[in-house]
Amino acid sequence: MTDQTKIPLPPSGPSLIERASGSFDFRALTRSPAPDLPPAPAAKVAPIQPAPIQGAARPVFASPVEPGPVLADAMPFHGVYHAIDRAHLREQCLIEPESAVTGLLEEFRIVKRQLLRTAAESRNGRGASYGERILVCSPHPGEGKTFCAVNLALSIAAEKDNEVLLVDADFAKPSVLSTLGLPGGPGLMDALADPAMAVEDCIIGTDIAGLYILPAGNATGSDTEYLASSRTGEVLARLTAHAPNRIVIFDSPPALAASPASVLANHVGQTVMIVRADMTGEAALRDAVQLLSACDDIKLLLNGTRFSTTGRRFGTYYGYKE
Ligand SMILES: Nc1ncnc2c1ncn2[C@@H]1O[C@H](COP(=O)(O)OP(=O)(O)O)[C@@H](O)[C@H]1O
Ligand SMILES: [Mg+2]
């Protein structure tokens, strides 16, 4: 995944991890025989512009709207649908539905294709179970878990044959709602802690067709214990019951900073491990992969690159006419 902020390359050239990626076999880190996700395409070495991340601080709360079109066997959802402010997405360098093809959109198209293939194989009984549940994790905070989880969800929602439920599973520091400009409400942890609460009632619909959000809910102080309880399996099963086309993406807490990530790994069929260029160290990556070893299929996604060994630049082809 290329870095979407327009910051010029440091004078020292490629980062340590970028240089290492040329000689180090990251696949050896994971036990999955599947190939890693594709490496990030070319850098955007562009004039300096204000970092769009600053826009994320502006609270934008969505207002209730009419639901967008849904799939025939879509989730029975009775709550209020909220509009998502497209400008708020743009300010944070997130995929903007219905907008022109961008490099970011193209990159996530490639990433999601492999995940959807594994999900489909899992459903057909040809792969590991729960392939439709995807954990987006990384060793430390700030490496792009939420950025990638939200973009992945936006990208999958655009699929004609899939809908997506994005679950904020970072119970201590939830940020999916603020990233999307959605109002707060009860969520997964509330449904785990209270057997009388139906998890379906916590789900938020959006005006982006096929995109649903399950907030983290209120942290309890015993989050990991609730997650490790037998009720978790039942609650998560309800999220995909009668919905063969639904993909569930979990925005995870950092594996090395909070214990829920390793417990969540028991409940998913795929993990996307974010490796942020210039940030994630190899030892931390190895530790994180080890901690999530309950999931057999861990794919690495290099985030925030500003270079490409092959000169690929996605998104530049569309719109070109002779
Ligand atoms: N490829 C990228 N391009 C631009 N900004 C990014 C990229 N990846 C992450 N960010 C930004 O970095 C910050 C930290 O990312 P975030 O997803 O919140 O990390 P995490 O969830 O791992 O703590 C956010 O402001 C996010 O918008
Ligand atoms: Mg996050």
Q: 199-234: per-residue pLDDT in tens?
A: 999 999 999 999 999 999 999 999 999 999 999 999
How many whole angstroms separate alpha carbon 294 and alpha carbon 193? 23
Q: Name, in order, each residue with C-beta under 8 angstroms of 37's C-beta and a sequence gap of 6 or more.
A: 110, 111, 114, 272, 299, 300, 301
How many whole angstroms separate alpha carbon 255 and alpha carbon 288? 6
pLDDT for the residue numbered 276: 96
Residue 214, strand partner residues? 167
Q: Which ligand is nearest to the CA of 143?
A: 1
Average pLDDT over residues 32-39: 46
For ligand 1, atom 16: residue with the closest CA: 144
Calculate how far, in angstroms, residue 77's C-alpha sits from the geometric centre of ligand 2. 26
The residue to which tokens 């000169």 are assigned? 311
User: pLDDT exceeding 90 applies to what percent of the chain?
Assistant: 65
Give the CA distances from residue 300 to residues 3, 30, 67, 91, in Å, rounded to whole numbers and listed in that order. 16, 9, 35, 26
Q: What is the β-pairing status of strands 64-65 and 81-82?
A: antiparallel
Q: Kindly give the interhelix angle for 103-123 and 145-157, rounded to the nearest 10 degrees.
A: 80
Q: Is the pLDDT of residue 308 over 60?
A: yes
SS3 label, residue 301: strand
Residue count of the chain:
322
Which atom of ligand 1 is least distant from the CA of 150?
A: 17
Which residues does ligand 1 sit against, CB inside 6 Å? Answer: 1, 3-5, 53, 56, 92-93, 138, 141-147, 175, 303-304
List the domains of the chain with CATH numbers. 68-303 (3.40.50.300)
Which atom of ligand 1 is least distant from the CA of 141?
A: 23
For ligand 1, atom 9: residue with the closest CA: 144
Calculate how far, in angstroms, residue 137's C-alpha sits from the geometric centre of ligand 1. 12
Q: pTM (2 decimals)?
A: 0.82
For ligand 1, atom 10: residue with the closest CA: 144
For ligand 1, atom 2: residue with the closest CA: 3
- What six digits make up the tokens of 13? 């050239």
How many whole angstroms separate alpha carbon 20 and alpha carbon 29? 14
Give the CA distances from residue 310 to residues 18, 65, 71, in Å, rounded to whole numbers and listed in that order. 13, 44, 39
The pLDDT tens digits of the residues spanning 106-124 come to 999 999 999 999 999 999 9
Encode 125-138 in three state secondary structure. CCCCCCCCEEEEEC
How many whole angstroms separate alpha carbon 240 and alpha carbon 230? 17
Calculate how far, in angstroms, residue 121's C-alpha sits from the geometric centre of ligand 1. 30
Q: Is the pLDDT of residue 30 over 80?
A: no
Cβ < 5 A residues, ion ligand 2: 145-146, 175
The residue to which tokens 């022109």 are assigned? 100
Calculate how far, in angstroms, residue 12's C-alpha sits from the geometric centre of ligand 2. 29
Question: Which of 88, 137, 147, 279 should be mutated for ligand 1, with most atoms under 8 A from CB?
Answer: 147
Average pLDDT over residues 45-57: 30
How many whole angstroms separate alpha carbon 178 and alpha carbon 163? 21
Calculate how far, in angstroms, residue 276's C-alpha sits from the geometric centre of ligand 1. 9
Q: How far from the centroid of its chain's Cα atoms is residue 224's Cα?
A: 21
The sign of the dihedral angle between the CA atoms of 42, 43, 45, 46 is positive
Q: pLDDT tier at 80 (50, 70, 90 boundaries)?
A: confident
